[in-house]
Amino acid sequence: MLLRIGDKLINRQKIVRLLDAILEMRVRGLSQQEVATRIGIDRSVVSRLETLGEVRKGKRIALVGFPLENCAELRQMARQEGIEYCLVMTETERWNFVLHKTGVELFEEIMRIITNLRQFDIVIILASNKRIQLVEALLDKEVIGYEIGESPIAEDKYVSLDSVRSILAHLRDD
């Protein structure tokens, strides 16, 4: 669709395509400057576009859970809901995470995860009662525990997406 603005003829479709390309590159992890250079615009334009489209400022939320049956659904929901950090695992994935590392590698990976989680304002954890207590003790953040059973849990548990969405809705209302 072409629009006339004064003596300029504007191609609206071209603007929409470029906007989609900019956002896609940013989602893939390119910096604002890298995107601006590729598109041939000033970096501040990319920043302003992101500001215009920003839905939520405020608390950053992370989602962690294990052992979960419906990890793929939870990951997809997390993306749709704007959750920036999602670490969910099945029982098999949890054991693979532990067994395929040396002691030092495992320690470093767990420390990296804790460091990442400390960057978030709120951590939602879908886990056993004892794992929730452990995360609460490790993080000086708001931790929202959704208990999926008593420790030890050795089989995957299903978590309702509606339950997680309900938690998110309450957090966003605050």
Q: Residue 58: left (phi > 0), alpha (psi -120 to 50), or beta?
A: left
- Identify the structural domains of the chain with CATH numbers, from first to last: 2-52 (1.10.10), 61-173 (3.40.50)
- In sequence order, which residues have a C-beta less than 8 Å from that of residue 78 and are 6 or more positions away? 63, 86
Whether this prediction's pTM lies above 0.75 is answered by no
| C-beta separation of 146 from 126 below 8 A | yes
How do the pLDDT tens digits run along the chain, 174 residues long? 888 999 999 999 999 999 999 999 998 888 999 999 999 999 999 988 888 876 555 689 999 999 999 999 999 999 999 899 999 999 999 999 999 999 999 999 999 999 999 999 999 999 999 999 999 999 988 999 999 999 999 999 999 999 999 999 988 876
